A and B are shown apart, each in its own frame.
Chain A
Amino acid sequence: MSYEPKLVAFLCNWCSYTGADLAGTSRTKYSESVRIVRVMCSGRIDPTFVLKAFREGADGVLISGCHPGDCHYHEGNYKALRRYHLLTPYLVQMGIEPERIRLEWVSASEGNRFAQIVDEMTATLRTMGPSKVQATMANYA
């Protein structure tokens, strides 16, 4: 069986998670690699969640929230954006390629878009091969 990457997706409850549900109700097919974690707001996503995901063996992490201006809590998604920019260089230092983490806006009506993003990212991860970081991080611990 070919290598199947593990992609963890943190989705906000109001837009992206609903969008993923819509992909389901409209039977849009996408890669099995993605495993979804629901949070109330993308602003809730703590850097440690991302690190934990990599440490537990995720090959990639997708963070997704409402489009700018649509945030159910006004500006949580902007906070997520800021943290994303702070986090990525740090991850790179730890030997995690920037392609392994991605921030995307997916609205509740963009089921297709969600599926498309997942497939794109899976393809990238497949070409990159498994993340070595699990081992590295183990040393840190």
Chain B
Amino acid sequence: MSRRLDPTLPARLREMGLMDNSKCFNCGHCTAVCQLTEEGFAYPRQDIRMLQMGLGDALTERVEPWLCYYCGDCTKSCPRDANPAEQMMALRRYLTAAYDWTGLAWKFYTSKAWEIGVLLGLALIVVGLFVVPHLLHPGQIQWEPLDGGVAVSSFAAVSWVHLGDMVMLGLLSFLLLSNIFRMGRRILGAARVPIPITLYLSEAWHLVTHFATQRRFGKCNDKEAYWVVHLMLMSGYAIMFLLVIVFLSSLQTDVGLNWTTLPGYFATFALLYASAYFLRGRWQKSAEVNRYSTFSDWLFPALLFATSLTGILMHIFRYYLTWPAGTYVMYVIHMAIVVPMLMVEVPFSKWSHLAYRPFAIYFANIRSKALQAAQKTQPGSLGVPPAVSNALEV
């Protein structure tokens, strides 16, 4: 079956912030310098060629864009100054949008107005959710400090907040997983062979480890530091996630510090440091990865930084200044940042990469193994894509 070319694809990617896709003359230098290229997974040359040709449909079946961690070696030595690494970044944006059935990802990548608008809208709703009930039923808020704390629950009842958390968790999981499901369908569909169910399970472990560690990252040239920070970020997320979703009651007590405090501190520090690290990088344009930054590249670390900062302030007001008013206000601000951030970034934008990458590897390996199995049974029966000879080294 032959594929049709879509001449509009490059233009669409330029809308998503790709500078230029025309310089590449397809010599394969980039693929050969890439430290991560391996048997069966040669990139970025082929992906760039497909981009130039307008094979968007075929691209959605490729995992390679997710295997690139933007070390920039290819861009540094490209004989045509075609900036392959940036092409791959653009392709990741394109794929995020392509897998997203809501079409919001596309809107966010192509229009600042949309992204900011949605963020502000969500922020207002959050503020509303806190303020309106108290306007309707005044007098519930306790303005007097307690001994060694603030009666936060009088302002925001744990049960309600917990409910909100749950709703958001459900919503986000649904959006993210539905997109990832669509991704899986494209990638595995390309194998055009039956996928044994057992593979889904046997490969699941790699999914977890990759998600937690993003370990392929470490194979890039001089990216170890970068990788450590990423690891930090991930642990920060994980701890905060547990504290907020599972142990909210212990996290949001009215008086005194408790066992959640130390992990809380670590998580907060991790998130603050990591976001600061990324912002600084983009600001100084130190590494290749930071040479070109789109609006969304800036937005995520910025919001993350703000989240951590407001969280810390609230904590100080609450336990060290025991200043109820400040605490409540900061609580609202904190929520008005973190909720929109998660809603926009997790399913539709930057943050989703953290999920797409491990899943791409997961699906790729399933596909490889399935193809290998099929090859054993009926050799040479495989058409497109070229048979993957072995699974991604992990």
A and B, direct touch (CB closer than 8 Å): no
Chain A residues in the interface with B (C-beta under 8 A): none
